[in-house]
Amino acid sequence: MQDALQDLIGDISGGVSFSRASAMLVTRVTNILNCDICSLFVVDNKTKNLQLVANEGFRDIDPNSIVVPADTGVVGMVAKRKEPINLTNINQHPDVYFLEGQSENAFPSFLGVPILYQRRILGVLVAQDEYHEFTEDDEGFLTSLATSFAHDLSHAIATNEITLGAVPPKRREEQHFKGYAGSPGIASGIAVVRHPHAQLEDVTYRVIEPNDVDHELAEFNEALNLVVQDLNQGRERMQSVLGAEELALFDAYLHMLDDDALPHEVRTTVLNECVGAQTAVSNVFSRHIRELERSESSYLAERGQDLRDLGQRILAAMQRQDRSDNDIPPNSILVAHEVSASMLSEVPSENLIGVVSAEGSMNSHVTILARALNLPAVIGAEDLPLLDIDNLPLIVDGYYGEIVVNPSAATTSHFEELVDVEESFQAELDEIRDLPSVTMDGVRINVWVNIGLVSEISRSLDLGAEGIGLFRTEVPFANRNRFPTEEEQRRIYREHMEAFDPRPVTMRTLDIGGDKDLPYFKIEEENPFLGWRGIRVTLDHPDIFLGQVRAMFKANADLEGILRIMLPMVSNIEEIEIAKRYIDQAYREVIEEGVNAKQPQIGVMIEVPSLIFQRQQVMRLVDFLAIGTNDLTQYMLAASRTNPQVAELYREFDPSMVHALRMLAKTAHEARKPIGICGELAGTVEGAVMCIGMGYDVLSMNATNIPRVKWVIRNITMTNCRRIVARALRMHSAREIFNFIREQLHGAGLDKALPPHEPPAIFF
């Protein structure tokens, strides 16, 4: 039964439509359980009915007519209790519900299991038989199936793939969807949905007459020129906002379309084989993609994806599928299944006000770019019905990751008011840009930036960054097709250090693994967040570690600013000792080479809870501590930072976190060494106030949040922050702590700095 279960789960989640999946599900269940009937009921939240959406086995009853009030019958009881019910004879149950015209259930043996998703009841899966009872094994089977199917069902309900109720939802109705808050801000505009380009595999093989060859070649050349022109324009548009490193992405693309490369092969194929240009593009590109994908090297396999993208762009141009800039109205919100860097670059920036990507995570390219471009963005909005929303009015709430499709007049004016409030507050923030971050009672707090893209340097400085608290060195590593050389690294690091000099710059050694992949150095693991990550990788590869550290020393030579080297994902003391020995070796090597290097400060990120309990020993070995709350939260609470299923449990204000942060700060103070926070928590107003109260010296955050946090620092007293922490330490839940800090901020008249509205109702 186990194998049958796995096969069935594989088949229904293998990309088939929902109606096909549900039909397959009920038919196969009757075979596997050897029973007469299987039914899938779905809860209709509007009418509060349980509606039958798929059935195998009913003969005399029209399945479409079956709608059961949700609080009625045994099926209703399964939904209400959220637990399985297994009955030998349903006819004897006091709550049995007979359909109209029925006085007895002809299939009395009954097994019903709830379909639950994120604690919500979505439906009930029922098996019935005339004679045989259902066993515990059957119950286990149906429960496992319901659990696996829940995600697909939730998606189908959200995207209206199932029509529930007598009246199907109207297109013009206001609808709310949820994703991650990728980049802060609110945008109210028009959805511009981009779909994947024409598929290479869909081109039909077309033979042409020899005298059509010229025409086909002309079509191909025109399409190729258009694609090259588009890529060049995209590159130019991005030039002002991206650095040389990121622009290299576009150059790599353009090289593949050099005239003597693939285009030459396409032309030869048209000429020699007398086939249409689209056929030739499909054949030539597909052949190369297959070769690349067969390769063992993950880097080459990735390039196969690039080739596919290019081939499909050329096809789309030949099929006139591309939209011109005229299709991008002012106030456009770019929406796609997976927004890519090149898609972003295709949209004229003056018309683009927001981004929505159904796929993606907090560290994905699109998120980083949206922040760098200062565009509100919601990422990972899996349930958004992309096919239905092109050209519809849309609101993107980048503070809470909410999307409103077809907002009502009242909703639109509510959000537009919020945008106005934001803009006027923005003017106030601009005024304090160059003023120091000092509390009203005179305590200086360092507000630094988390950075990774060269393009963010000037923006960070403009927004008032007083240093770099976290340079994510993996970002420049990820933007190329091989490891950067020591000299390439030196140049990138130098650009940052020179721009910030004499401000301090904190260089984190390479932090890959987990959800951060390099295209040319794939780490495939079953449990990547608990695997080969951060310092574990670089200590196993001293070549990478030493090269990086040498590049850091060289980049810092002759500058006034202090070099701070920071070690990620440390979980024991030994790792610190070994890393320090390597840093010392690199220092001696560069000195021997005649580099005017200075001794660095060495710090450790506290991201793994084990270090909290060895904090005194850690403190003795290092010059500073920086708390990576993004990872510390997930390891402390065993709730992945990237899994929406447990997002509710990922609580940065959990009492365990608050106590840990307080303990770490105390240890640093006793040792008279600096301590900072460089997780996302530092960039939230609530988190910043709490950390200031605990005595953190450095708050390091993404550039966008700097002005707001600085404003709060300048308008609050340390005494008040300490009082807030003292109360928070006595509380029992993350929500209690968070709400309390919010109340205090309101009370102190600082609510302007909070996101301009309360979290939307769909979040609770």
Q: Is residue 652 involved in binding Mg ion (CB under 5 A)?
A: no
Residue 329 Cβ, how far from Mg ion at the closest point, in Å?
40
Containing 122, the helix (H) or strand (E) segment is strand 120-129
The two beta strands, 563-567 and 505-508, are parallel
Which residue has the CB atom at the shortest distance from ligand PEP?
Answer: 628
Burial of 258: CB neighbours in 10 Å, binned 0-12, 13-18, 19+? exposed
Any idea which residue has 């209790």 for tokens?
81
Question: Which CB sits closer to ligand PEP, 117 or 653?
Answer: 653
Binding mask 277-316 for Mg ion (x = CB under 5 A): ----------------------------------------
Q: Does residue 678 have an active-site annotation?
A: yes
Binding mask 607-646 for Mg ion (x = CB under 5 A): x--------------------x--x---------------
Binding mask 4-33 for ligand PEP (x = CB under 6 A): ------------------------------
The two beta strands, 332-336 and 352-357, are parallel
Distance CA 91, CA 104 (A): 6
Amino acid at 630: N
What is the length of the chain?
A: 764
444 DSSP β-pair partners: 438
**Structure token digits, residue 738:** 């968070």
Question: Which CB sits closer to ligand PEP, 73 or 467?
Answer: 467
The CA distances from residue 197 to 203, 208, 234, 313, 318, in Å, are 12, 24, 17, 6, 11
Distance CA 456, CA 372 (A): 6
Q: Is residue 629 involved in binding ligand PEP (CB under 6 A)?
A: yes
* φ, ψ (nearest 5 deg) of residue 478: -80, -20
Any idea which residue has 């007895």 for tokens?
104
Distance CA 628, CA 675 (A): 11
Distance CA 757, CA 269 (A): 60
Distance CA 199, CA 99 (A): 48
Residue 515: which of 419, 388, 380, 385 has the closest Cα? 380
Q: Is residue 631 involved in binding ligand PEP (CB under 6 A)?
A: yes
Mapped onto helix, strand or coil, the DSSP state of residue 15 is coil
Give CA angle at 295 (291, 298), nearest 5°.
Answer: 125
Q: Which of 234, 679, 695, 756 is in the footprint of ligand PEP by CB under 6 A?
A: 679
Question: Which CB sits closer to ligand PEP, 575 or 631?
Answer: 631
Q: Is residue 603 involved in binding ligand PEP (CB under 6 A)?
A: no
Q: Report the 10 Å Cβ neighbour count for 546.
A: 17
Containing 508, the helix (H) or strand (E) segment is strand 505-508
Q: Is residue 676 involved in binding Mg ion (CB under 5 A)?
A: no
Residue 253 Cβ, how far from ligand PEP at the closest point, in Å?
27
Question: Which CB sits closer to ligand PEP, 452 or 484?
Answer: 452
Binding mask 465-484 for ligand PEP (x = CB under 6 A): -----x-x------------
Q: Which of 630, 667, 715, 717 is in the footprint of ligand PEP by CB under 6 A?
A: 630
Q: Is residue 365 involved in binding ligand PEP (CB under 6 A)?
A: no
Stretch that binds ligand PEP, among 2-10, 187-195, 553-561, 623-631 (CB under 6 A): 623-631
Q: Is residue 36 involved in binding ligand PEP (CB under 6 A)?
A: no
Question: Which CB sits closer to ligand PEP, 418 or 675?
Answer: 675
Under a CB-based contact definition with an 8 Å cutoff, are residues 267 and 475 in contact? Answer: no
Residue 552 Cβ, how far from ligand PEP at the closest point, in Å?
17
Residue 245 contact among Mg ion, ligand PEP, none, beta carbon within 5 to 8 Å by kind: none
Which residue has the CB atom at the shortest distance from Mg ion?
Answer: 631
Give CA angle at 711 (710, 713), nearest 5°.
Answer: 65
Residue 446 Cβ, how far from ligand PEP at the closest point, in Å?
16
Q: Which of 68, 142, 284, 678 is in the footprint of ligand PEP by CB under 6 A?
A: 678
Stretch that binds ligand PEP, among 62-70, 133-141, 232-240, 622-630 (CB under 6 A): 622-630
Which region, left, alpha or beta, applies to residue 704 given φ > 0 means left and ψ of -120 to 50 means alpha?
Answer: alpha
Residue 472 Cβ, how far from ligand PEP at the closest point, in Å?
5
In the set 35, 197, 288, 365, the catalytic residue is 365
Q: Which of 600, 628, 674, 695 is in the footprint of ligand PEP by CB under 6 A?
A: 628
204: Cα separation from own chain's centroid: 37
Give CA angle at 470 (465, 472), nearest 5°.
Answer: 120
Residue 472 contact among ligand PEP, Mg ion, none, beta carbon within 5 to 8 Å by kind: ligand PEP
Stretch that binds ligand PEP, among 129-137, 182-190, 574-582, 628-636 (CB under 6 A): 628-636
Distance CA 275, CA 448 (A): 60
Under a CB-based contact definition with an 8 Å cutoff, are residues 8 and 100 in contact? Answer: no
Residue 756 contact among ligand PEP, Mg ion, none, beta carbon within 5 to 8 Å by kind: none
Strands (E), 216-340: 332-336
Q: Is residue 607 involved in binding ligand PEP (CB under 6 A)?
A: yes
Question: Which CB sits closer to ligand PEP, 187 or 682?
Answer: 682
Residue 643 Cβ, how far from ligand PEP at the closest point, in Å?
15
Distance CA 292, CA 307 (A): 9
Under a CB-based contact definition with an 8 Å cutoff, are residues 582 and 522 in contact? Answer: no
Tell me the DSSP string of 721-740.
HHHHHHHHTT---HHHHHHH
* φ, ψ (nearest 5 deg) of residue 165: 80, 165
Count of residues engaged in binding ligand PEP, rule: CB under 6 A: 10
Distance CA 425, CA 417 (A): 12
Residue 561 contact among Mg ion, ligand PEP, none, beta carbon within 5 to 8 Å by kind: none
End-to-end C-alpha distance for the chain, whole angstroms: 38
Residue 679 Cβ, how far from ligand PEP at the closest point, in Å?
3
Question: Which CB sits closer to ligand PEP, 629 or 705?
Answer: 629
In the set 35, 38, 678, 721, the catalytic residue is 678
Question: Which CB sits closer to ligand PEP, 76 or 469?
Answer: 469
Stretch that binds ligand PEP, among 7-15, 30-38, 298-306, 627-635 (CB under 6 A): 627-635
**Can you give the three-state secondary structure of 646-694, one letter per residue?**
HHHHCCCCCHHHHHHHHHHHHHHHHCCCCEEECCHHHHCHHHHHHHHHH
Question: Which CB sits closer to ligand PEP, 470 or 622?
Answer: 470
Binding mask 411-450 for ligand PEP (x = CB under 6 A): ----------------------------------------
Any idea which residue has 């807030």 for tokens?
724
Q: Does residue 38 have an active-site annotation?
A: no
192-221: which residues touch ligand PEP (CB under 6 A)? none
Residue 629 contact among Mg ion, ligand PEP, none, beta carbon within 5 to 8 Å by kind: ligand PEP
Residue 679 Cβ, how far from Mg ion at the closest point, in Å?
7
150: Cα separation from own chain's centroid: 21
Binding site for Mg ion (CB under 5 A): 607, 628, 631
Binding site for ligand PEP (CB under 6 A): 470, 472, 511, 607, 628-631, 678-679
Residues catalogued as catalytic: 365, 678
